[in-house]
Amino acid sequence: MDIELLKSVVDYGVIALLIFMSFISVWFFIERLIYLKTVQIDNFKTKKSLEIAMTRHMSIIGTIASNAPYIGLLGTVLAIMLTFMTMSNADIVATKIMASLALALKATAAGLVVAILSQIFYNTLARFIEVVESRFDEAREI
């Protein structure tokens, strides 16, 4: 298999996966935010049923937040391996090697961006859930 083709598959495949993950994270964040702003606590008999309804899709956002850096790192490692394979073919041009190594790091950077945003989404939603649960407790005390 051609090294350039393999490099494109690794590079674009990892970046595409990270973009897909970020889309899913944003989608569920918006969906949960809308739901949490419109939830009617009077419609729930128990706090547990309220919690189950509110935490739907939270594990997906959390999983994306925790795994995006690893996927980015995987892309970087594979791109660096491809750079070393290119070097082993006696195609040693310093500028090409440095460019390849710099481009390899973009996968890690993309993974970190997706993870940071997803973690912010998760924490924001967790706070909204705490507030709604507190309102539920307050309403039941009266």
Which residue from 28, 10, 31 is spatially nearest to 64, judged by alpha carbons? 28
Which residue from 110, 127, 131, 130 is spatially nearest to 11, judged by alpha carbons? 110
Predicted confidence (pLDDT) per residue in 60-105, tens digit:
999 999 999 999 999 888 888 888 887 777 667 777 778 778 878 8
Predicted confidence (pLDDT) per residue in 106-131, tens digit:
889 999 999 999 999 999 999 999 99
Domain residues of the chain, as ranges? Answer: 3-73+107-141
pLDDT at 136 over 70: yes
Predicted confidence (pLDDT) per residue in 48-68, tens digit:
999 999 999 999 999 999 999
Which residue from 76, 75, 72, 82 is spatially nearest to 7, judged by alpha carbons? 82
140 pLDDT tier (thresholds 50, 70, 90): confident
